[in-house]
Structure 1
């Protein structure tokens, strides 16, 4: 894991800004505390910070190939580098190190842009080809490693983080209002290629970007995507056979991701996913695997009993750390400064604390992100398909009798109909619903947003890609693209802030492809036919509360002999953090002071609406709305972002 930064002249061969690149490298020093290096030539400048994991002594970057003159800066790990090395040696390529960096460089020389098809790993990298005056950028398939870019004044700027990019004087922190509106609703800091800043874009997962000096501006191109299959195209396989295949693929992914020349540990919660990874890692390493877990001394948020069950079943050591309302804020602010973005979820802070504790013994950590998005771990956001498929598309006529379904939908959505999939998705997945957002934002901002048209259009366009899918599968695809990208950015930034490399075996692209080829009912289904019959007058939240649906069915069966039954049968907890209790009590003075002094008061947000939210912070709706608002204000205060 590392940090990279660079600039490429799109039209001429001007001298790069060495000072800005040096500043950007310093900003990213926690991403790469072990080494730094830079490269400069007319029209191009590259910088790199290194966290040494593979071949710590060799493989300094930028890596310059003596024969071709190509230059590589690279953040991440290519897990199958040893297999690729053998293939490249057979093709006549010499090697001087045992690193994956040299393998990646040689792979690009041998196969060009299509080398991406052969990589298994997490990566964001840039290759400069001086002979063709060409720059190639790429990001891994699922988006574990971030890469931001900007085109300004005939330069292409790029970096692993927004704070590093803002070291270039040409870039100014001006808010992108549609992306900000999307963040307030969903807490996601990107919306497709858009970031929260107008001048900075994000290379999406599975995308590449090619720039040739003197050529036309190219758009990012997707080189890989999750397969989109109709119900008829899904594999016809029993859940038992599918479980066997899933078990094999998960174990292969864990084994591949154990490659490291530095010590490796993991994170452990009281849930299924981390227990699966810990058991596999301990078995594949011959024992002695160590994991870390975080908890709170608040009823409903303490998971130690389940953590102890998982650790005992896996036969591993588990180190426990505690987090409180007093220790949370400093790390919260520090993470915002490190990311150069507001936090997406409250559990970014405990992940960072876990990484800080783990760093005392290890440099690499296995983490369980991705399982819910590919195997169906979220009942309400995906099984809401049951609501959609039986819902009206328009309001009932005056005097028309309401069905039991109409009443069930009214209780959850505030109306007895659902217009379309994007409509339902935003209703269910918004921390700040559209009607409350309109009341919160100033009239000038809301008018500029044109009724939040850009946010709705973003999801409308996305759902249009999945018209051939079942409603459930369409929601699975959206969560795999939107929610998972956010979670992976969360774990990357929260661990890299502690100079720890996080690896996420459930995002192995072959496992993802397998999961999306399975029938919907292998992921989530009614516990039995009786329960389905009882659900006619219920909505999805009531169905979930009554535990009428089994999530991650195939994964539970695949590892039933590994995970204790108490954990297998346990409802999903989603890494809980008691931030709503803290908002309502100990943090009130901090929040009130912030929302009074922020420059966004009266410009982005209505002052009276902010005060009302603080006064009603004890309610769930206000606490949920306050999370993105407070984060946005803390972030704006740090980078001095301006309204357009």
Structure 2
């Protein structure tokens, strides 16, 4: 998978700046524990940390293309291009020769053949930088759905870039400054494509290329969702979905290191796992390794809530009993999830406060850490809800009628724990409303669509544009923090484009969410899983977790740091812990306590300066 970093400056000789470039690159060590390398030219420096997945012996980076003993281009690349074998054959017919079996060299040669148009030929999850020595030009390229992160910041007469903000902030002239816009994004689990948290920093938009030259920075979109008329019948649509899924799994089970699947017992992960297990048995002759996560009951019976109405474990066991995968159940103790060192690791992985769920991020980090002991690559069911229409907001009337971000409907202002002056300046609810309106205005539609059909498109586009990036961030940051590559089959751009245009009447033809996915995989799954309602990522129901959070908040209030004194409303913080401990699997004031503690950790650990 890997981590990349670099620096381009047309106003200085970067050959004198190797220590800085090495420091920037080494911040990506957790993303790439297997090897490191840097390449420096007069005005460009590229760094790479490698997680070896394809062609373990070859594929070292940064990778150079050489002609007549001279470097003509250099690449630092993160991700996986799943159609690299087919592209290699095409490039061979164009006269290219290859020294390695890696997809990295295919990307480099594809650039030499097609220029920046090479991005349109790549299928996969990727973020890379290519320095063209002949043109003295840098290209920053990101995959279509934004699975792999890539940040950049104009600096001097050029740019700094990296897989994560920490690579850019490692430059001695960078400071972790956050303005009001950045703080809104950090607090609200909502951002527009391209936005970053730190002042002056940007993220390469999904499906975009940023070109850096002596003339400055230019951005170009090479892919975006389009509205198209869907003419397939229901039967053809189901068959097409299945064909896409089989193609995707065929591509994404190719690896030279141990592969596994993350299994929740829900429809999404079970479908991916069943297809992958079938393919591995046919091709490699062995069952797929699978992992699930659960929590000890601690004497508290399971309590259903709006996010989950059943425990995962019985469904996981039904799946494993029928398919006979090589399965491991990982049970996480409450003390592990609440441990200060785990929470610090999560904040450091994010370069910010974590923004989704309560214990979900620490537990995901611990899950990935355990999985990494035996596997290097994992398949995930992430994004099926966004693609197939699995959330309540896709079908319940109150969300269809409300003109607001659906995942924010009914939630309190997250800035209320800050000082009244800062909260008033942030105006987070207005930021949510503006984001909603901007994305809805940009939603592609077809002429003659009904208002209801258009609203359903808006909700789908909102989810793919502003909500899914948070889930992909969580998966990428927490898995790469332990050197685990997680692949997301449902983010295949052809599948996403196809499903974006399928009418809701087909997506819910059996009266339930994700009807097409259920129908496409009906022959593979136990009936219990086919009938199971959507359930969110599991959360601990142990009241001790909430008590630990409340105690830490109480300690923070009893001995507040200067930052807490200056920037937080201690009465508002105190109100979060004056409420009784809940017994449901998730309650919103517990989430608020968790997020507030993470916010304090981030601001203090990274010495963030808020610029008002």
CA pair 581-201 structure 1, distance change in 2 beyond 3 A: farther
Paired residues for 1:506-517 under 5 Å: 506-517=490-501
Contact (CA 8 Å) 1:376, 1:552: kept in 2 or not?
yes
In the alignment, is the contact (CA less than 8 A) between 2:335 and 2:545 conserved in 1?
Answer: no
CA contact (8 A) 1:442 1:605 kept: yes
**Superposed displacement of residue 553, structure 1:** 0.8
Compute the displacement of 1:236 (Å).
2.9
String of CA shifts for 1:119-142, please: whole Å, max 9, x gaps: 011110000011111000011111
**Could you tell me which residue of structure 2 aligns to residue 382 of structure 1?**
394
Query: Given that residues 405 and 432 in structure 2 are in contact (C-alpha distance below 8 angstroms), is that contact kept between their aligned partners in structure 1?
Result: no
Match of 1:303 among 294, 297, 312: 312
Deviation at 1:173, TM superposition (A): 0.6
Query: Partner of 1:361 in structure 2?
Result: 374
Aligned equivalent of 2:169, options 166, 170, 175: 166
- Residue 520 of structure 2 is matched in structure 1 by 558
Residues 16 and 41, structure 1, Cα contact 8 Å, conserved in 2: no
Once the two structures are TM-superposed, the CA of residue 254 in structure 1 deviates from its matched residue by 0.6
**Residue aligning to 1:32:** 32
Q: Distance in 1 between the 2:424 and 2:16 partners? A: 40
Unpaired runs of 5+ in structure 1?
Answer: 392-417, 528-549
The answer to whether the 8 Å contact 1:174/1:641 transfers is yes
What CA distance in whole angstroms lies between the structure 2 residues aligned with 1:337 and 1:91? 45
Q: Work out whether residues 564 and 600 of structure 2, in 8 Å CA contact, stay in contact via their aligned partners in 1.
A: no
> Do the aligned partners of residues 355 and 117 (structure 1) sit closer, same or farther apart at CA in structure 2, a change above 3 Å counting?
same
C-alpha distance in 1, partners of 2:151/2:506? 37
CA deviations over 1:37-61 (Å, ceiling 9, x no partner) = 0011212111100011111111110
Question: Which of residues 441, 464, 471 is equivalent to 1:464?
Answer: 441
Q: CA offset at residue 609 of structure 1? A: 0.8
Query: 1:326 is paired with a residue of what secondary structure?
Result: helix
Structure 2 CA distance for partners of 1:172 and 1:563, relative to 1, 3 Å: same
Secondary structure of the residue aligned to 1:138 is: strand
Task: Give me the whole-angstrom Cα distance separating, in 1, the residues matched to 2:180 and 2:530.
Answer: 43
Provide the residue aligned with 2:223 in structure 1.
Answer: 224
What displacement does 1:580 show?
A: 8.6
- Distance in 2 of aligned mates of 1:208 and 1:571: 40
Taking a change above 3 Å as real, the CA distance of residues 49 and 588 of structure 1, as seen in their structure-2 partners, is same
1:441 matches 2:454: no
CA contact (8 A) 1:81 1:103 kept: yes
**1:106-121 equivalences in 2 (<5 Å):** 106-121=109-124
Check the 8 A contact 2:158/2:212 in 1, yes or no: no
- The match for 1:589 among 519, 532, 551 is 551
* Equivalent position of 2:488 in the other structure: 504
Question: Mapping of 1:249-264 within 5 angstroms?
Answer: 249-264=244-259
What are the superposed Cα offsets for residues 395-418 of structure 1, whole Å, 9 maximum, x if unpaired?
Answer: xxxxxxxxxxxxxxxxxxxxxxx5
Work out the CA distance in 1 between the residues paired with 2:57 and 2:362: 32
1:518 counterpart = 2:502: yes
CA deviation string 1:309-359 (max 9, x = no partner): 112233312101111220013323212113312223242333322222222
Larger displacement relative to structure 2 (502-511 or 611-620): 611-620
Rate the CA distance shift 1:558–1:574 in 2: closer, same or farther, 3 A. Answer: same
Q: 1:343 to 1:124 in 2, by over 3 A?
A: same
Note the alpha carbon deviations across 1:216-241, whole angstroms, 9 max, x for none.
Answer: 332x33221122x2xxx431333332
Question: 1:174 and 1:28, CA in 2 relative to 1: closer, same or farther beyond 3 A?
Answer: same
Equivalence map 1:122-161=2 (5 Å): 122-161=125-164
* Conserved 8 A contact 2:142-2:208: yes
1:343 aligned partner: 354
Query: Could you tell me how far 1:426 is from its partner in structure 2?
Result: 6.3
Residue 324 of structure 2 corresponds to which residue in structure 1?
A: 315
Instruction: Name the SS of the counterpart of 2:457 in structure 1.
Output: helix
Q: How many residues align?
A: 578
Cα distance in 1, alignment partners of residues 427 and 48 from structure 2:
41
**Distance in 1 separating the partners of 2:261 and 2:399:** 39
The residue that corresponds to 1:425 in the other structure is 406
Distance 1:182 1:382, change over 3 A: farther
Q: Mean alpha-carbon deviation: is it higher for 76-85 or for 167-176?
A: 167-176
Distance 2:52 2:142 in 1: 20
1:492 Cα deviation from its structure 2 partner:
1.3
8 Å contact 2:151–2:202 — kept in the other structure? yes
Residues 472 and 581 of structure 1: CA distance in aligned 2, closer, same or farther (over 3 Å): farther
Q: Distance in 2 between matches of 1:598 and 1:505?
A: 44
CA distance in 2, matches of 1:565, 1:447: 51
CA apart distance, 1:366: 0.7
CA distance in 2, matches of 1:440, 1:580: 25
- 1:621 aligned to 2:554? no
Q: Provide, for residues 589-610 of structure 1, a one-character-per-residue CA deviation record: whole Å limited to 9, x for no partner.
A: 1233345535442433312111
Corresponding residue for 1:609? 572
Residue 195 of structure 2 corresponds to which residue in structure 1?
194
Match of 2:83 among 80, 92, 112: 80
CA 1:317 to 1:446, structure 2 compared with 1: closer, same or farther past 3 Å? Answer: same
Structure 2 gaps, min length 5: 303-309, 446-452
Structure 1 residues 90 and 526 mapped into 2: Cα distance closer, same or farther (>3 Å)?
closer
Give the equivalent residue in structure 2 for 1:546: none
Structure 1 residue 388: deviation in Å?
5.7
**Structure 2 residue aligned with 1:239, among 234, 237, 256?**
234
Secondary structure at the aligned position of 1:163 is classed as helix
RMSD, matched Cα: 2.2
Q: Which moved more, 1:133-142 or 1:237-246?
A: 237-246
Partner residue of 1:545? none
Does residue 633 (structure 1) correspond to residue 608 (structure 2)? The answer is no
2: CA distance between counterparts of 1:197 and 1:579?
35
Q: For 1:257 and 1:176, locate their aligned partners in 2 and report how far apart those are by CA, in whole Å.
A: 40
In structure 1, distance between residues paired with 2:174 and 2:18: 16
CA distance in 1, matches of 2:76, 2:444: 39
Cα displacement (A) at 1:427: 4.4
Q: Alpha carbons of 1:55 and 1:526: their partners in 2 closer, same or farther (altered >3 Å)?
A: closer
Q: Equivalent residue for 1:204?
A: 205
